[in-house]
Structure 1
């Protein structure tokens, strides 16, 4: 319990605003790596996922590649890419590794969102004379948005936790304090940085949860009220004489 108290004391200490890497600066670097990597992954994975979901082709290959990418060890991938790219390109190498880790969840969310749509809705659009592009943009993309946001949510949470290893190759972020605290056995610093990472993950998770709630099209939330039938005629009671 004392370690948690020391960790929170470390977080709110005025010393975190001093030095070559302050805590706010480390948080900004951490978020920059996270959002930048997820944005690049989204640019790659979302159109590809929509194409797979719309045409129904290439799903097996996408599932295989996604599973293979998820099985890659994050730290090993970052170190390998940095060694291949060189020290001068270590930032690009680390971002590439984070993008590779983020693509599977986004890709799965993109094509599964379209696959989950009732086929009768799409057939009705074709029957109305809509083109394939109109079906994609007016039917499939809006109705599949909720699952796509779920994929973005999963990718963001995975990346925000993985970005801590960027400090292992000298790129800063909140992982810098963890690596710095381990050799000196400053466990309050290590735990304090970990708490900040968890707090960032919870905030991002809550933001995506709210976004997913409002991403559901209104037409799917409306309840169809049954037409009320006309009141039946009041039966005539016959009295016996």
Structure 2
């Protein structure tokens, strides 16, 4: 406890860096994966390539990817950018498949009703398909958020600051307190981020709470209610 109180400034800085390196790839992964998943749904041949490539990318060992990225990016310097790019690649690799499943979970009757009401493809995707797919999409996001929190620590092996540095220092100095503090803080960050995602899902999908209270509404009624509120 004394060590923790004496090093709160360093621990706070490492915690902020760790959170930054975990959250930014999650946001970038969503922004990249959603259009890729939609393209995979609309074009069967392209979909096979996208899903196959994402599966291959996820099999690359994280440490190897961190080391290779400076060469690929042309920077030849190991820094926080390498961690963010690497974790974004992993996030996209996981999210593409889960986003395709999320979009496929939308009832075809809802899509047909939207088309009958004059929704063009892009508007239908943004106003109907994407919002109604959020419950499944957020389930994938919650898994990836936990994975990112863990993988950020790998960067410490290459000298990139994060809570993983506490693991390395604790190992070199034979000081278990640092290791325990690092583990506890990473677990807390993962729990907090998961809670934030749950709250965001509830805010963005209020109709799911109404459905639980009153029973599942007809798809067309759901669409009409959302259209009326737009």
TM-score (norm 1): 0.78
1:122 Cα deviation after fit: 0.9
Q: Alpha-carbon deviations, 1:180-203, whole Å to 9, x = none? A: 111221122112211111111111
Is there any run of 5+ residues in structure 1 with no aligned partner, and where? 1-8, 226-241
Aligned match for 1:223, one of 215, 223, 229: 215
> Which segment drifts farther, 114-123 or 151-160?
151-160
The 8 Å contact of residues 166 and 179 in structure 2, kept in 1 or not, is answered as yes
Aligned match for 2:149, one of 160, 167, 170: 160
Aligned match for 2:52, one of 64, 78, 91: 64
Partner residue of 1:234? none
Please provide the CA RMSD for this pair. 2.4
2 CA distance for matches of 1:60 and 1:185? 49
1:33 Cα deviation after fit: 0.9
Partner residue of 1:115? 104
Partner residue of 1:48? 36
- Superposed, which structure 2 residues align to 1:94-105 within 5 Å? 94-105=83-94
Aligned match for 1:35, one of 13, 20, 23: 23
**Pair 224,66 (structure 1): closer, same or farther in 2 beyond 3 Å:** closer
- Which of 1 and 2 has greater Rg? 1
2 CA distance for matches of 1:42 and 1:138? 17
Q: Does residue 14 in structure 1 map to residue 2 in structure 2?
A: no
Is there any run of 5+ residues in structure 2 with no aligned partner, and where? 218-230
> Which segment drifts farther, 29-38 or 80-89?
80-89
Q: Does residue 25 in structure 1 map to residue 17 in structure 2?
A: no
1 CA distance for matches of 2:70 and 2:205? 41
Q: Does residue 137 in structure 1 map to residue 126 in structure 2?
A: yes
1:60 Cα deviation after fit: 2.2
What number of residue pairs does the alignment pair up?
A: 212
1:44 Cα deviation after fit: 1.5
1:59 Cα deviation after fit: 2.8
1 CA distance for matches of 2:216 and 2:140? 30
2 CA distance for matches of 1:114 and 1:56? 14
**Pair 93,162 (structure 1): closer, same or farther in 2 beyond 3 Å:** same
Give the number of the structure whose residues are more often helix, by fraction.
Answer: 2
TM-score (norm 2): 0.81
2 CA distance for matches of 1:125 and 1:75? 46
The 8 Å contact of residues 26 and 172 in structure 1, kept in 2 or not, is answered as yes
| 3-state SS in 1 of match to 2:77 | helix
Q: Does residue 187 in structure 1 map to residue 179 in structure 2?
A: no
1:74 Cα deviation after fit: 0.9
1 CA distance for matches of 2:2 and 2:53? 42
